[in-house]
Amino acid sequence: MDAVSADTVVLALNSGSSSLKYGLYRVDDAPVLLVGGTIETTDDHGRFFDAIETALRGWPAPTAIGHRIVHGGPHRDAHCRIDEAVMADLEAACAFAPLHGPASLALVRAAGARYPGLVQVACFDTAFHAGMPDIARTLPIPGAYREGGVRRYGFHGLSCESIVRRLGDAMPARLVIAHLGNGASVTAVRDGRSIDTSMGLTPSGGVMMATRTGDIDPGVLLYLLRERGQDIDTLSTMVDHRSGMAGVSGLSGDMRILRGASTGDAALAVRMFERSVCKQIAAMIASLQGAAMVVLTGGIGENDVLTGRAVRQGLAWIPGLDIRTVGSQEDAQIAHHTAALA
């Protein structure tokens, strides 16, 4: 870990697809949470910072602000301080993550207005996957598109970093991390480094998710464009907001609601999610040529016991596989990187 001042106090802001989490950390040898909380997604950033300042009353003032940025685009693959050049790259990267990018940019601007003069740091979810081998990062499309940055990026990197840090000496050489929440992805980790992951160019691929399709036959989208007269905006909304468990159940993408529902479609949605997770874990084990451990993390992975049971049953054919739950600490990772860079 880079040396940082003992009086470094970081406000970590974690903007997800369904919530905004904040944490105030004092960072010396390791981040120590002073106070934190979660606010449901809102476009009113003024209200968001009003709530934060109320919660922070009586605690040390932040000396730096760190942001979780889902997609850095083709030009940003390492955590960095935010300046005008970085903001320009993040604007361009919104094309790759329209569900997350604009909201993150708005939050950075709002934080700069509320805390003028403080260093702000971008912590990229893609950074952990930046060193993936060519066989993993290359998509099977013509080279002209690949040259424009169309490749596999991978996401939930801060969560994966935190799992690697928490496992420490207990981390095996071949590890699979399944981050299961509103967004879900599975990553193959070899000797502490990402070598393959289920999400691709955007956070919409891979595992079936709460409202996102995950991997889907591209011919489905072409059929809807050609035969059903759907336009790009309609398809974008379908892929990211109306599919996944919400689309199948016709009810919700929230696992807690689906577990309590009595409809056959709700049960089908849950079983499809569980199957999708098992398939992606098996794929990552193939990339690793074997694995000793699978870690379940994220809101569903950490809290939904039935999902954990289904994954264990679905992978029971793999002898000696250690499947365990470990809490993700994305915000602490944000605090660590921000302190080191600020």
Q: Are 121 and 67 in contact (CB under 8 A)?
A: yes
The C-alpha atoms of residue 21 and residue 3 are separated, in whole angstroms, by: 26
Q: Scan for tokens 């993700």, then name that residue.
A: 328
For residue 87, the number of C-alpha atoms closer than 13 Å in the C-beta half-sphere is 10
Evaluate whether 120 touches 126 at the Cβ level (below 8 Å): no
Using CA atoms, how far apart are residues 26 and 158, in angstroms rounded to an integer?
A: 19
DSSP-derived secondary structure letter, 114: H
Give the burial string for 29-48 (b: 16+ CB within 10 Å, else e): eebeebebeeeeeeeebeeb
User: What token pair was written down for 193?
Assistant: 């480094």
Tell me the C-alpha distance between 289 and 297, whole Å.
Answer: 22
Exactly one of 7, 29, 44, 125 is catalytic; name it.
125
Three-class secondary structure of residue 119 per DSSP:
strand
Size (the chain), residues: 342
User: Which residues are registered as beta bridge partners of 40?
Assistant: 19
Instruction: Confirm whether 2 is a catalytic residue.
Output: no
Residue type, 55: A
Give me the torsion for CA of 115, 121, 122, 124, rounded to 10°. Answer: -140
CA distance 197 to 158: 14
Closest CA to 310 of 264, 278, 267: 278
Active-site positions read: 125
